[in-house]
Each structure stands twice: as structure tokens, then as C-alpha cells.
Structure 1
Amino acid sequence: MAQRFPMTPAGLQQLRSELKQIKEVDRPQNVKDIETALGHGDLRENAEYHAAKDRQAELAARMAYLEGRIGHAQVIDPASIESDSIGFGATVTLTDMDTDEEVVYVLVGETESDVKAGRISIAAPIARAMLGKREGDDVTVQLPKGDREYEVVKIEYKPL
């Protein structure tokens, strides 16, 4: 069985939008760029042509990646989850036990992660350390600079 990639409905839509952009805008523009570069003569010394061909390969690789992710997506709507433990789609409030600072993370698919926005990949070390924990539990995260201790303050499953 093929590997499934968990993602939110918004994450799937983001991938579909990027794929559409490549197919309808980027790739047709790349074809024009190649045609224009071909008109500039000798291909051995034609930097525009080689750059356009490199871009063509990049676009093809990205399309294949996106199609694979979309085709094997396991779409999970966090709003439909009822659980008191941390899992995919959870919005988790933690307190750093050293600094008393509160942080909020949302556990999302790998392609949706955005640390600055508080969205962390389900595969990230901190997310893996939180899986299955409940409110009041302690979480130890092993980081390069040493272990960090958190307490789970709140777990919510809500629309993203």
C-alpha cells in the first residue's frame, strides 16, 4: 500500500493551487521562454536556452512531487476530531516549564508547516514528543541545545 500523507483540507487546496499555477501559468511561460531562446541561435552558447531547459526540469519535478502528494493525501479535517489527546490537527497550548512562556502549535502535514505561524509538521521532533499526550501532561523535547520541558495546557481540534 502506498504511503499516505496526512493534511488538512486547506493544505490539500494549497497543493492543488500550486499545481494549477504551474500547469496554467509557469509551464506555458517556460515553453515560450524556450521558443524565444531557440531563436537566438547556437544552443551550445545560449545561456537563455539552458536556463529555460533547467527551469523546465524544475517545473516537471515539482509537478510530479505535487501530483504524488495530492494523489496520496489523507485529508483530515481537525474540526471533525473529538479527542482529549494530541494528534494530527490539534491546536496545542504549552507552557515552557523553564520560562513560563506559553506557546501555541498546530500539528499539520509536512507540506503545511510554517513555524512562524505556529504550524508544525506532525513529523517534527516537538510534534512527535507531544503525540498522545493529554492536558496536564509533561512533554520533553530533545533539541540540539538540550532538552526542553513543557506542560500541555490546552488541546483543541478546530477548523483551520
Structure 2
Amino acid sequence: MTQTSDNVTWLTQEAYDQLKAELEHLSGPARAEISKKIEEAREEGDLRENGGYHAAKEEQGKQELRIRQLTQLLENAQVGEAPADTGVVAPGMVVTIAFDGDPNDTLTFLLASREYASADVETYSPQSPLGSGVSGKKIGETAEYELPNGKKATVKVLEAKPYQG
């Protein structure tokens, strides 16, 4: 689970190890693999009309960007414990809210950085309007946040449990 404070990102040991393993793979075997693809495509001839070459170069660019992102994230990471199950909304928790207190209009999401985005549950950043609005709220409390159109929205926190991954 993550919590960003200025340039520090809080990670559990498990998350840190997972991201470090991804970085090691990308900067080692994956980097060698993409270099090989580029070299093979280069040998095919005219680079202006070589789709394989351009695709490999684009893939390499995305991979290098991810390497830089992970390097920066891990350099600024602070390893700590997962949030406690206190019923207080914090990064690393799965939160269920009701819009305008309507129990039939709810949203359940993980409050965490995009590094935790998964298909299992929608992820909202602690820095997002909704994320910052509900952070620190207890179950049963209401929070207000600003919508993109400038209007205010009110939500009620129905549940807040530590993410089990």
C-alpha cells in the first residue's frame, strides 16, 4: 500500500520487493530482449518503412520510461506496515462510499497510488479530489470534495478495510 507525502512514498515490504523485482527485470533481461528486437529489425533494411523497427523503438521508449519511474519511486520509498484496520480511511485501504448518503449509489475503491491499480478493484490516488476528501474520515462520517466542473459532492464513508491484495 502506498501513501505519498511530498516526495516520499510509503510502501509495504511486499510492495517494495515486487516493484524492485519489476525494475530488475526491466533493466536486465527485458532491456537485452528489446535491444535484440531492434537489432534484428535493423538488419531487415530500410528503417523508414520498417514497422518492426519502429514498434520495437516505441516499446523501448515505454520500457525506459517505466524504468525511470520505478527508480525514482524506489529511491523515495519508505518501507512500513500496511494500514491498521481502524475504520479510518487511509492509503492502502479499500473504501466504500455512498454518494449523497444514498445507500443504493455506492462506489468501492482502493485508495492507493497507480502502482496498485488492478482489475480487482478501481484505484483512486490519495491526491485525487475524492481520495483527499475521504482521507482521515471514519466509517459513518461524510466528506466533501470538488468535482471537475467545480461543484461540490458529498459522500458518506460506509466501509474502510486494509487491502488484502
**TM-score band, normalised by the shorter chain?**
0.7 to 0.9
Q: CA deviation at 1:158?
A: 5.7
Select 1:92's aligned residue among 92, 95, 113: 95
Q: Does 1:55 align with 2:59?
A: yes
Mapped to 1, the partners of 2:107 and 2:52 lie a distance apart of 48
1:150 is aligned to 155
Q: Structure 2 vs 1, CA of residues 61 and 95 (structure 1 numbering), >3 Å: closer, same or farther?
A: closer
Give secondary structure in 1 for the equivalent of 2:32.
helix
Q: CA deviation at 1:91?
A: 3.0
The 10-residue stretch of structure 1 (26-35 or 108-117) with the greater mean CA deviation from structure 2: 108-117
CA distances 1:103-150 after superposition (whole Å, capped 9, x unpaired): 333321232235861332212211100122122211123223643322
Superposition map of 1:68-147 within 5 A: 68-79=72-83, 81=84, 83-97=86-100, 99-101=102-104, 102-114=106-118, 117-144=121-148, 146-147=151-152
In terms of fraction of residues, the more helix-rich structure is: 1
Mapped to 2, the partners of 1:119 and 1:25 lie a distance apart of 30
Aligned residue type for 1:71: E
Extract structure 1 runs of 4+ deviating beyond 6 A.
Answer: none
Q: CA deviation at 1:97?
A: 2.6
Give secondary structure in 2 for the equivalent of 1:75.
strand
Mapped to 2, the partners of 1:114 and 1:121 lie a distance apart of 13
Mapped to 1, the partners of 2:53 and 2:122 lie a distance apart of 41
Q: Structure 2 vs 1, CA of residues 76 and 125 (structure 1 numbering), >3 Å: closer, same or farther?
A: farther
Aligned residue type for 1:27: R
Aligned residue type for 1:155: A
CA contact (8 A) 1:95 1:150 kept: yes
Larger radius of gyration: 1
Alignment TM-score, normalising by the size of structure 1? 0.73
1:37 is aligned to 41
Alignment TM-score, normalising by the size of structure 2? 0.72
CA RMSD, Structure 1 to Structure 2 (Å): 3.1
- The sequence identity of aligned pairs, in percent, is 25
Unpaired segments ≥5 residues, structure 1: none
Q: CA deviation at 1:7?
A: 3.5
Unpaired segments ≥5 residues, structure 2: 1-5
Mapped to 2, the partners of 1:57 and 1:158 lie a distance apart of 32
Count of aligned residue pairs for this structure pair: 158
2:3 is aligned to none
